[in-house]
Structure 1
Amino acid sequence: MSAQDYSDVDKKEDLKVLHGMGYAQELSRSMSRFSNFAISFSIICILSGGINSFAQATSSIGGAGAGIGWIVGCAVSGFFALAMAQIASAFPTAGGLYHWASILGNRFTGWLTAWLNLLGLITVLGAINIGTAFFFVGTFGGAFGMTGTPGEIVGFVAFITVLQALLNHFGIKLTAMLTDASGFLILATTAVLIVACLMFAPAIDITRLWTFTNYSGDAGGGVFPQSDSMGYLFLLCLLLPVYTITGYDASAHTSEETLKAAHSVPRAIVSSVLWSSLIGWVMLCAIVLAIPDLAAGAKQGWGVFFATMDAILPSWLKTLLYLAILIAQFLCGLATVTSASRMLFAFSRDGGMPVGSASLAKVSPAWRTPVNAIWTAAVLEIIYVFLAQFISIGGTNIYTIVVNSTLVFLFLSFIIPIVLGMMAFGTEKWPNPGPWNLGAGLFKLFCILSVIGMVIIFYIAIQPPNDKVLYITLGFIVLTAVLWFGFENRRFKGPPIGDQIAKRQAAIKAAEVAIGEAGA
């Protein structure tokens, strides 16, 4: 679906759906179906999570972590994506998960989902940009005299975050153009990396891809503590695909900027996960096959990817690949700013933030973007990165603690609307599916599989050395309960429902006129 194929009938249908949920068309609806796919594909970015977290495969069960573990972990993410796509087709709004949980559940489930998702998006943006900073230091930093000190990392992250926010500020068309380019860059760079690994590999032993070897403890560079249980280590290797294949809710958060959103968004969610999973699997398998000595490589711990590239690739090719990967990682962060800002905008539009909601819900008439939400998300991420680099808890840097907590928060924000959707499907709350419809049986099956996947994700996310994540999660639950029953239950009204939607039609018309929406 391109702008040329977007008819007046399509536009009226998009407006009808959005107005039917009580919202005005304030954001610029100009993203094609491919652009909606590309923004999630760019956030998933197998060249970011797949490379920066590669050691979670090799330092657990060796080559089988990529050959088999990646497939299993991607299947788990796929269950979530299919269930979320069904809901996204019926409720295509910028609020995404938060809005779904509110409509299918109640004010509390929506409010809780919003905070889980918002916290997850801000911290995962920090994790992505910190990863980009360390990647830059490890590849090109020497030429600039950088050694990776906390001050250098914070400064680098602040610089690229401001640049990402600026690019988001100047309209969704620019952002979409860049994330479209990112999609092609990821595909091209991955293809070159795969061919290079297979061409320059000293020898290819394909049995590595299904051979389980215990590389925990010192044998794996200390990535995971020593364990004699291969089953337990297999579960830990799933952290690589589960951490990498996430962020596809970005397609939902840009629903109000996407042409024929009820059709385009669910397809984008599913296809971004599918293609990232398939291409990522081939890439990781190629890297595993290229490692000169798997035992020696695993012992490098988090440095296994760089050690492999140093050992097999000519300098010029390695430099070109590193530059392309660095750009892809920057654009991954750019797309995450888009997703986080739309979530913040949508939540604020319903008065969700305890302070500043009116300002955060404003859309620039010139650029048709939520500029205040964009810059607030950027500032919050920079503050988090500063704290993460300079504060430790019990000897553990809070960056490590929060990154692993982020995984739990994001998937909890996914599972809440999925469970609510499973219970509400076919009832008064959700009487009719959207145009992208799996059918009741398949939808509920994927919901159940997602719940099982959530149990697995939570279990592996709280294992040593990440056991503090359990206390962070429990503390968050207690804090939200206190805040909800003590304050927010009386203040937060939630999104418009029922008669409230009809009463907002005049306000919707006025908002669209004020922003200059054509046809308003």
Structure 2
Amino acid sequence: MAGASAAGQDGPGQPRTTPERTSEFRKDMGPWANFALGFTYLSPVVSTYTLFGTALAEGGPPMIWAFVLAGAGQFLVALVFGEVVAQYPIAGGVYPWARRLWGKRWAWMTGWVYMWALLVTITSVAYGAGPYIAILFGFDPTVHTTVLCTVVLILVAIVINYAGTRVLSWAAVIGFGAELIGALVVGIYLLATHRHHNLGVIFDTYGTEGNGSYLPVFLAAAIIGFYQYYGFEACGDTAEEVAHPGKVIPKAMRRTIYVGGAAATFTCLTLLLSVADYQAVLSGEDTDPVVKVLYDAMGETGARLVMAVVLISFLSCTVSLQAAAGRLIYAYGRDEMIVGHQFLRKFAHARAVPGYALLVAAVIPALIAFASLLSTDALTKIVSFAILGIYASFQMVVLAALRARLKGWKPSGEFTLGRWGLLVNFGALAYGIFAIINICWARTPEVAWYDNYVVLLCGAVVLGTGLLYMVITHHYGRGEAPAGDAIPERRRGAHARD
């Protein structure tokens, strides 16, 4: 396993806090670029603009409270991740963390689930940009043009990633600027010139609950919050490209939640207060309230300028996702954990990027985009599966951390939660389980069973094929990187064998 540094020795009886081999990555990413990478991956503009109409039609204006619910839960997850990455600053994120906390098999499956979730998320973000690209360049946003726009955006993103860490850092910082313009500048303008409601509207359900409780309706609309709050882990995916990662990355993760969550909530609020006719959205007459608000408030020229800024946000988010996916796949190849590892571990030293791994992070999302032509309501299903996969892989790390704690692991990096660690870990796990159940819950009994359970079925396919692959190939056992050594007795056993 390559690592952030080979310098320094741990004290007697202390766990290693750095990987054993010298990293091939360059430390070209500064603290703000690392934060910007996580922020553009989390992307308040992308998540809000993609799902605003869906969530509003489902749950009315109170759906905005989903940002508070998901933000609080994912903040606990970010705290757990911060402890882990501070001790194990290794490229690839959840896979190497799970490996050190639990073992090879658990890590392999965690990385497998996370890899597919990332690849699908790349598609979901690029797919969500399709209608905005169409409006910006003046053609009709049909299903086929959306898929073509998705593929083009993926290709542009891979070119940026191939340019190297410095260009990736600049892309993240530019994307961060576009996000702030899209969230703050546009939001303030809408509040000043196009506000139709007061704050009380966020408590008005507009009858979306029918004759029953509002809770089931709210939980269905909460997809907008669940989709919002991941991306902070990307700060850790590039741990080997950041100086002093044990201090910088946990802080960047928390800052991503604070700033990204606040920007997303503000963006959603300004759009809610600017929608002139809620009933048109709830009835399905207005299927794209974001575009209507922008055109009504700014005219065609102004709206297209905003579309250009929004498109930068979608592109930077796609770039950040590809960077995370490429480094995960590279980490798999480096540890000989997957077929084709001879190619996937190859490193382009001139640009300091894992070339073949990044290529996979472009080709598979493009194929998923073309496959979406076979499904109705493709965007919602793609997003739902992406959320399920990300949350499942997150919780595999959270569970591994909890198990390690109960077996004696005491985080020893530059960021620790101290005596609050166990309580926070339990809270993060409880939230994650709740979110996964909510995402998988079948809510459309009127459609065919396979369509109603498509997200759960896709998750089962990924899990089943992963287990089958793992059992047949035994790739999980090939790598020589440390595994399970966060647990004291495992570490003592390894030292005894040495």
Q: Percent identity?
A: 17
Number of equivalent positions: 472
Letter in 2 for 1:79: L
Alignment partner of 1:125 out of 92, 99, 122? 122
How far apart are the structure 2 equivalents of 1:270 and 1:112? Answer: 26
SS, match of residue 474 in structure 2: helix
TM-score by length of 1: 0.84
Letter in 2 for 1:104: L
How far apart are the structure 1 equivalents of 2:355 and 2:436? Answer: 35
Alignment partner of 2:263 out of 273, 279, 291? 279
Query: Does the 8 Å CA contact 2:82/2:250 hold for their aligned counterparts?
Result: yes
1:148 matched to 2:145? The reply is no
1:470 matched to 2:449? The reply is no
Q: Which residue of 2 aligns with 1:161?
A: 154
Q: Aligned ranges for residues 173-188 of structure 1 at < 5 Å? A: 173-188=166-181
Relative to structure 1, is the Cα distance of residues 449 and 63 closer, same or farther in structure 2, using a 3 angstrom cutoff?
A: same
How far apart are the structure 1 equivalents of 2:476 and 2:321? Answer: 32
Query: Does the 8 Å CA contact 2:132/2:311 hold for their aligned counterparts?
Result: yes
Structure 1, gaps ≥5 residues long: 1-9, 217-225, 503-520
SS, match of residue 496 in structure 1: coil
- Pick which of 412-421 and 200-209 moved more: 200-209
1:487 matched to 2:458? The reply is no
Q: Which residue of 2 aligns with 1:358?
A: 342
Query: Does the 8 Å CA contact 1:63/1:212 hold for their aligned counterparts?
Result: yes
Letter in 2 for 1:167: I
Q: Aligned ranges for residues 41-80 of structure 1 at < 5 Å? A: 41-66=39-64, 68-80=65-77
Q: Aligned ranges for residues 260-299 of structure 1 at < 5 Å? A: 260-299=244-283
> Deviation per CA, 1:365-404, whole angstroms, max 9, x where unpaired?
2111111111121112111211222x23xxx466643431
- Pick which of 450-459 and 463-472 moved more: 463-472
Query: Does the 8 Å CA contact 1:22/1:501 hold for their aligned counterparts?
Result: no
Q: CA deviation at 1:82?
A: 1.6
Q: Which residue of 2 aligns with 1:509?
A: none
Q: Which residue of 1 aligns with 2:328?
A: 343
How far apart are the structure 2 equivalents of 1:452 and 1:345? Answer: 31
1:374 matched to 2:358? The reply is yes
> Deviation per CA, 1:319-339, whole angstroms, max 9, x where unpaired?
221111111111111111111
Q: Aligned ranges for residues 98-247 of structure 1 at < 5 Å? A: 98-137=95-134, 139-142=135-138, 145-150=139-144, 152-215=145-208, 228-247=212-231
Q: CA deviation at 1:186?
A: 1.0
SS, match of residue 425 in structure 1: helix
> Deviation per CA, 1:54-102, whole angstroms, max 9, x where unpaired?
1243123311111x23211221222221221121111111121111111
SS, match of residue 196 in structure 2: coil
Query: Does the 8 Å CA contact 1:40/1:249 hold for their aligned counterparts?
Result: yes
Relative to structure 1, is the Cα distance of residues 121 and 141 closer, same or farther in structure 2, using a 3 angstrom cutoff?
A: same
Query: Does the 8 Å CA contact 1:57/1:64 hold for their aligned counterparts?
Result: no
Relative to structure 1, is the Cα distance of residues 501 and 387 closer, same or farther in structure 2, using a 3 angstrom cutoff?
A: farther
Relative to structure 1, is the Cα distance of residues 207 and 490 closer, same or farther in structure 2, using a 3 angstrom cutoff?
A: closer
How far apart are the structure 1 equivalents of 2:312 and 2:237? Answer: 23
Query: Does the 8 Å CA contact 1:53/1:302 hold for their aligned counterparts?
Result: no
Structure 2, gaps ≥5 residues long: 445-451, 486-490
Query: Does the 8 Å CA contact 1:14/1:260 hold for their aligned counterparts?
Result: no
Q: CA deviation at 1:478?
A: 3.1
Letter in 1 for 2:389: F
Alignment partner of 1:438 out of 412, 417, 420? 417
Q: Which residue of 1 aligns with 2:488?
A: none
Query: Does the 8 Å CA contact 1:83/1:418 hold for their aligned counterparts?
Result: yes
How large is the RMSD of aligned CA atoms in angstroms? 2.6
Q: CA deviation at 1:490?
A: 7.3
How far apart are the structure 2 equivalents of 1:168 and 1:232? Answer: 41
